[in-house]
Amino acid sequence: MEYEVIDSHCHLDFSKFNKDRHETIERARNSGVVTMINSGIDYRSNADSLELARKYEFIHATLGLSPQMVPDANDEKIKQILSQMERNIDKAIGIGEAGLDFYYCTKDAGRERQKEVFRQVIEIADRYNKTLVIHGRDGEELALEMSRDLDMVVFHCYGGSLETMQNILDAGHYISVPTLVCFSEQHKRIAQNLPLENMLIETDSPFLSPRKGRNEPAFVLDSVPVIAGLKEIEEKEIAMATMKNTRRAFHL
């Protein structure tokens, strides 16, 4: 492998990896993935992400509260997760994934609740000066409005419009290109138009696999030649830039 990369967003704690988690991690390392950022989505997965980060020095945790769980979660559950974030803030390199998901949540009440909870998450990221990892499906523009004043923001797995992307870039934020870029025309357009200095790459594994079946961190390398082809630059340049950006975005 002539270059190294970072998978800036994965979910190695998910049950899809229960049978071969360590082997999956080793495979990624042997393929040239030097660092993996494991993103929590709720109480349990935050705890599991912290455990992975404790066990492997090259895995880092972000503590999240997925918007997909918010409409059905009671106040007590939300409060538990928010206080878990604060208690473990020193062990995390970021807050998220968190944000808005208007693709799955179409009811106004659910969307309002997502906004209200996201506001509380933003406050924690702001208070402790942590990078915020945003899940903003079909709510990208509003997620940007809400988080505009933060210093460090990463829009993970970005799939919104080029116009909103430009607004995100103007705010000085980062955008993460998922392995979807290997087969999605929309993500190809995004990658092509996204300046290299704002780009991160991710698998979001076990989802969005560029191959058959389950995605895994090693497959982040599949996206490098695709992005290089779209931008007409060397693969190595993509790898080096995205690695540098990820380290800067998360103060690694």
Q: Rounded mean pLDDT of the chain?
A: 97
Q: How many domains does the chain divide into?
A: 1
Q: What are residue 135's DSSP bridge partners? A: 99
pLDDT, one tens digit per residue, over 141-152 is 999 999 999 999
- The model carries a pTM of 0.98
Q: Which two tokens stand for residue 216?
A: 């895994």
Q: Give every CB contact of residue 149 below 8 A, 6+ residues apart in sequence.
A: 126
What was the pLDDT predicted at 151? 95
Q: Residue for token digits 């998910």?
A: 14
Strand locations in 66-198, DSSP E?
Answer: 94-99, 131-135, 153-155, 174-178
The CATH code of the domain that includes 225 is 3.20.20.140
- Rounded to whole angstroms, the Cα distance separating 242 from 175 reads 10
Q: Give every CB contact of residue 137 below 8 A, 6+ residues apart in sequence.
A: 100, 101, 102, 103, 104, 159
Residue 10 has pLDDT above 90, yes or no: yes
Q: Considering only CA atoms, which of 43, 40, 41, 42 is closest in space to residue 52?
A: 40
pLDDT bracket for residue 2 (50, 70, 90): confident
pLDDT bracket for residue 36 (50, 70, 90): very high
What was the pLDDT predicted at 1? 65
What was the pLDDT predicted at 66? 98
Instruction: Say which amino acid occupies 171.
Output: A
Q: Considering only CA atoms, which of 92, 97, 84 is closest in space to residue 136?
A: 97
Q: Which two tokens stand for residue 92?
A: 């995390």
pLDDT, one tens digit per residue, over 74-114 is 999 999 999 999 999 999 999 999 999 999 999 999 999 99
Q: Which two tokens stand for residue 69?
A: 């769980």
Which one has a higher pLDDT value, 2 or 29? 29
Residue 30 has pLDDT above 70, yes or no: yes
Instruction: Say which amino acid occupies 152.
Output: M
- Decide if 211 contacts 222 (C-beta within 8 A): yes
Percent of the chain predicted with pLDDT > 90: 99
Q: What residues make up the domain containing 81? A: 5-249
Triad 78, 83, 87: Cα angle to 5°:
150
What was the pLDDT predicted at 3? 94
pLDDT, one tens digit per residue, over 176-230 is 999 999 999 999 999 999 999 999 999 999 999 999 999 999 999 999 999 999 9
